[in-house]
């Protein structure tokens, strides 16, 4: 289904923005901008690149916090008697699937 592939692509893109390589993409973009269109690279261009870098920094910090929380919760789920194994692996699902699972459990 086309919607599933789009959702997976967006999730993969979101995960990729938390990787250090995302910073290299912004730096490469800025260098190409300077090389190809130096007359348009002004304070506005610099501000744009700074906003992108700050967004990536925030995204990376959030990703680290989220991964730590997931690891702690996985440990709790695995240690709890009678807890279904699907809960420990639910973080691999798409966000919409997780929302549906939460609604079905409540």
Who contacts 56 (Cβ-Cβ below 8 Å, separation ≥6)? 17, 22, 23, 26
> What number is the average pLDDT over the span 1-7?
76
Higher pLDDT, 43 or 106: 43
pLDDT of residue 105: 65
Instruction: For residue range 23-37, list pLDDT tens digits in order.
Output: 999 999 999 999 999
All structural domains of the chain with their residue ranges: 50-106
Instruction: For residue range 33-54, list pLDDT tens digits in order.
Output: 999 999 999 999 999 999 999 9
pLDDT of residue 13: 86
């Amino acid at each position: 289904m086309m919607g599933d592939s789009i959702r997976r692509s967006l999730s993969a893109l979101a995960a990729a923005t938390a990787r250090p390589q995302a910073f290299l993409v912004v730096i490469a973009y800025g260098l190409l901008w300077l090389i190809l269109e130096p007359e348009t690279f002004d304070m506005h261009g610099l501000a744009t690149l700074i906003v992108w870098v700050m967004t990536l920094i925030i995204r990376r910090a959030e990703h680290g916090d989220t991964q730590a929380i997931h690891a702690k919760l996985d440990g709790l789920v695995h240690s709890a008697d009678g807890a279904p194994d699907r809960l420990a692996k639910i973080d691999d699902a798409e966000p919409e699937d997780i929302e549906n699972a939460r609604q079905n459990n409540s």
